[in-house]
Structure 1
């Protein structure tokens, strides 16, 4: 598979590194509107060809697939162009900025018979894969309740940089710069984490969003700091389970942490994932009577990058697909509507 890296910002380095490490995959070219950036990116990763636009790369056409690592608002037009040129697409999350655009991308990919995948990176967490396996095996019984959270603290700590002065963070706080806030940025991750781990999609949601004061007039230079910083959601899954999902960039002491607890009538599981370690805990069988939790050792699993390469090789889609990401986007869109209407909505 020859793959084109579209967008050569920070995350593109991860795409290039992971794809280059897969046997049979070649990095065919890099694309960026900034000539200096694409040149530096190509030198770093040993890529021969650079392009200033996707149109120019498509006119050349000597590649099979596109890794779309452009800003969120650019995913739709660039993915549509790649699909219509007959290229398979591996797209960064969120798939699109709204459900309608995501559905158009999904239906186009499916109609054209092209492999499509969204880089929901926490599918790479082996503990999440094992947790889903345990839930689907029936070991926890019927799922009754769940709790999910995604906590970050980069609005408090400078461990990842200073958001007050760096554009890579400021754009995430500004609607006019394409941000849907914490809901759109990491909400897509924790909703997928919860639904995948609990083994069921969402059926009803009610969400509250909050944007906190961060600067005089909530503005820094050209950036209006108006995107949401925190959300709290109550939700029901199609399997009937009731639960809560919340996320914040103000979670002091948590650099980047996801957690999921799934409670069933016969047992429970808990996943903790941070940037530096992951754990899977279970309370099953006789341990339910004593409330004893045990850590489960889990081996590595194939990454999304590896699954996409395999999907292209096989000529068939593997998860997480565009359609799955589109379903998650519908939940995100409805979350905003419920905050406005102050009432629960059916997915």
Structure 2
């Protein structure tokens, strides 16, 4: 299986390392417009063919699949070109910047019959996968209520550097620079995380987005700090459950934590995961009467990279698919639309008697 890496940033390095570790996978080529970065990336992973554009790589064509690790707004045009060429695509999240673009990508991939998957990295959590299996098996009865949160704190701490002075963080706070705030950045993860764990789709949502003042004039250099920093939504699932989903960059004491509590008619689950650690607890059976929680043993699970490789080799599409990612984007679009409608209503002149 010959893989093209499209992009050369830190996540592209993660993709390259992950695919290199898989038996029978060759990093055949990479695309990076910047000549210096292209040379460094190619040397780092000993990639034999390097291109300045995707068009050049497609004209060469000697690869089976592409890891698309471009900026969010570039996912759609580059992926559509790859699909038109009949290439399998493993795309970074979010699949696209809007639902119409995302569903177009999903339908194009399905029409071409190529493998299409999205890198929702927290699907790699054994706690999440085990929680999903327990819910599906009826271990906690029918799900009634839940609360889920993606907690980051880099706006109040310097564990990842000083956001006030580093472009890699400042762009995430500026719509002009391509950001859709915490909702667009990590909201996609927690929406997928929560609904996948409960084995049910979101059918309704009401949301609130908030942008906080972070600098004089809400601007640092060329960066206007205008995107959302916190989001809270009330969500209803197809199985009837009701709960909350939130994401923030102001969760002091939490570097990068996803937490989910699921409450059912016959038990409850507590899911905790970060990029490297995870845990799962259950309260069920006789333990319900004493509110006793038991740790659930966890086994390693296949990563999204491994599932993509297996899908390409088998010819059967893996999960999460483009269509799943498009559905998540539909939920995010609803949240943005509700926020815009609320702002327009607040700005409208008051009616007079």
Shorter-chain TM band: over 0.9
Contact 2:122-2:275 within 8 A present in 1 as well: no
Contact 2:131-2:269 within 8 A present in 1 as well: yes
For residues 18-37 of structure 1, give each alpha carbon's deviation from its aligned partner in whole angstroms, at most 9, with x where no partner exists.
Answer: 00000011101111111111
Does the alignment pair 1:265 with 2:265? Answer: yes
Task: Give the secondary structure class of the aligned counterpart of 1:187.
Answer: helix
Map of 2:350 onto structure 1: none
Contact 1:146-1:198 within 8 A present in 2 as well: no
Does the alignment pair 1:174 with 2:174? Answer: yes
Task: Give the secondary structure class of the aligned counterpart of 2:27.
Answer: strand
Map of 2:335 onto structure 1: 335
Task: Give the secondary structure class of the aligned counterpart of 1:56.
Answer: helix
In 2, the alpha carbon distance for the partners of 1:56 and 1:162 equals 38
Map of 1:141 onto structure 2: 141
Runs of 4+ in 1 over 6 A off after TM superposition: none
Instruction: Return the offset for 1:342.
Output: 4.6
In 2, the alpha carbon distance for the partners of 1:280 and 1:111 equals 39
In 1, the alpha carbon distance for the partners of 2:79 and 2:144 equals 39
Task: Give the secondary structure class of the aligned counterpart of 1:236.
Answer: strand
Contact 1:206-1:339 within 8 A present in 2 as well: no
Instruction: Return the offset for 1:271.
Output: 0.5
For residues 239-278 of structure 1, give each alpha carbon's deviation from its aligned partner in whole angstroms, at most 9, with x where no partner exists.
Answer: 0000001110111111000001110000011111123421
Contact 2:163-2:170 within 8 A present in 1 as well: yes
For residues 92-120 of structure 1, give each alpha carbon's deviation from its aligned partner in whole angstroms, at most 9, with x where no partner exists.
Answer: 00000000000110110000001000000
Q: How does 1:50-129 map to 2 (within 5 A)?
A: 50-129=50-129
Map of 1:38 onto structure 2: 38
In 2, the alpha carbon distance for the partners of 1:143 and 1:167 equals 42
Instruction: Return the offset for 1:40.
Output: 0.7
Map of 2:349 onto structure 1: none
In 2, the alpha carbon distance for the partners of 1:340 and 1:45 equals 44
Q: Which segment is superposed worse, 115-124 or 282-291?
A: 282-291
Contact 1:3-1:29 within 8 A present in 2 as well: yes
For the aligned residues, what is the CA RMSD?
Answer: 1.1
Map of 1:242 onto structure 2: 242
Map of 1:326 onto structure 2: 326
Q: Which segment is superposed worse, 276-285 or 302-311?
A: 276-285
In 2, the alpha carbon distance for the partners of 1:286 and 1:42 equals 58
In 1, the alpha carbon distance for the partners of 2:38 and 2:295 equals 44
Instruction: Return the offset for 1:162.
Output: 1.5
In 2, the alpha carbon distance for the partners of 1:285 and 1:189 equals 31
Q: How does 1:146-161 map to 2 (within 5 A)?
A: 146-161=146-161
In 2, the alpha carbon distance for the partners of 1:14 and 1:98 equals 25
Instruction: Return the offset for 1:338.
Output: 1.9
For residues 171-210 of structure 1, give each alpha carbon's deviation from its aligned partner in whole angstroms, at most 9, with x where no partner exists.
Answer: 1111111111000000000000000011101010001001
Distance 1:33 1:340, change over 3 A: same
With normalisation by structure 1, the TM-score equals: 0.97
For residues 274-309 of structure 1, give each alpha carbon's deviation from its aligned partner in whole angstroms, at most 9, with x where no partner exists.
Answer: 234211010011111111001112010000000000
In 2, the alpha carbon distance for the partners of 1:49 and 1:166 equals 32
